[in-house]
Amino acid sequence: MIEVESLTKRFGGRGGFLALQDISLTVSEAEVYGLVGYNGAGKTTLLKCIAGIYRPDCGRVLVNDIMARRLAPGKLFIVADEPYFMAQATPLQMQKHYRGYYPAWDSTLFSRLLDAFGLPGSARIEGFSKGMQRQCGIALGLASGARALLLDESFDGLDLSKRNLIKSLLAAYARERKASVVITSHNLSEIEDVATSLGMIDGHRLVFTGSVAEVHERYPGKSLEEIFLGTGTHKEVDIAALFA
């Protein structure tokens, strides 16, 4: 379980840039939580706070009842928007690296995931396309066995078939590993059919959090895009006036 309680994060000290303000949410076991928001809304900052990379100025983050910054290695895996790989490494070499940190690592699953994604295990990752590198990062995360899995904009650069495959994999991972999975996206339509719960972040605040069913019950007959535009701070732009 992931619990975020009244989290506020600034950069540049007191009076500096406010990235997140009073964020509270819960991601249960066996749940995929979709965090949506425009670019720059604070999604990545929130993931890094959950992972213990950033320390919040106020509030706290618990992962399975342990403070995020005190979390033991192997309990959480984050797939960044720009996945990091060691120089000249291959997927199999990255597996060897991560296997030493994750006690529940599943080498058989990793091999199957490489095959499902069509990724050569002995080829250098630096030669992969951006989409292939993203798939490699996701394969590493799923093979880790971590009970908390965080993915940042993981659908970017992927074709429809790969996006659908990853959605199915995330749902199965959450269910089979009893894991708490958080995935961010600025594309609302990508989230609805994979997430069981949803959070909308805008203006540094969480403007809604709840199950996808609750979202539609609260806003009947509206798409996620319509709901988000109506609850956030989106500003309509008069295009004709710009060119007048």
Entry pTM: 0.89
Token pair of 150 as six digits: 């965080």
Token pair of 193 as six digits: 């059919």
Handedness of CA 160, 164, 169, 174 (dihedral sign): positive
Token pair of 35 as six digits: 């965090």
Beta strands 17-27 and 2-11 are antiparallel
Token pair of 22 as six digits: 């009073």
Q: What is the pLDDT of residue 177?
A: 95
Instruction: Note the helical H segments in the chain.
Output: 43-50, 91-99, 107-117, 130-144, 160-177, 188-192, 212-218, 224-231, 239-242
Q: What is the pLDDT of residue 209?
A: 86
Interacting residues of 127 by C-beta distance below 8 A, sequence separation 6+: none
Residue 72 exposed, middle or buried by CB count within 10 Å (0-12, 13-18, 19+): exposed
CB distance 80 to 133 below 8 Å: no
Element (H, E) at 221: none
Predicted confidence (pLDDT) per residue in 29-45, tens digit: 999 999 998 888 899 99
Task: Report the candidate in 75, 94, 68, 77 with the shortest Cα–Cα distance to residue 182.
Answer: 77
Report whether CATH 3.40.50.300 matches the domain 1-75+148-154+176-244: yes
**Per-domain boundaries in the chain:** 1-75+148-154+176-244, 78-146
Predicted confidence (pLDDT) per residue in 183-216, tens digit: 998 877 788 889 999 998 988 899 888 887 887 7
Buried b (16+ CB within 10 A) or exposed e, 128-158: beeebbbbbbbbbbbbbbbbbbbbbbbbeeb
Q: Which residues of the chain have pLDDT under 70?
A: 223-225, 227-238, 241-242, 244
DSSP 80-116: -SS----TT--HHHHHHHHHTT-TT--HHHHHHHHHH
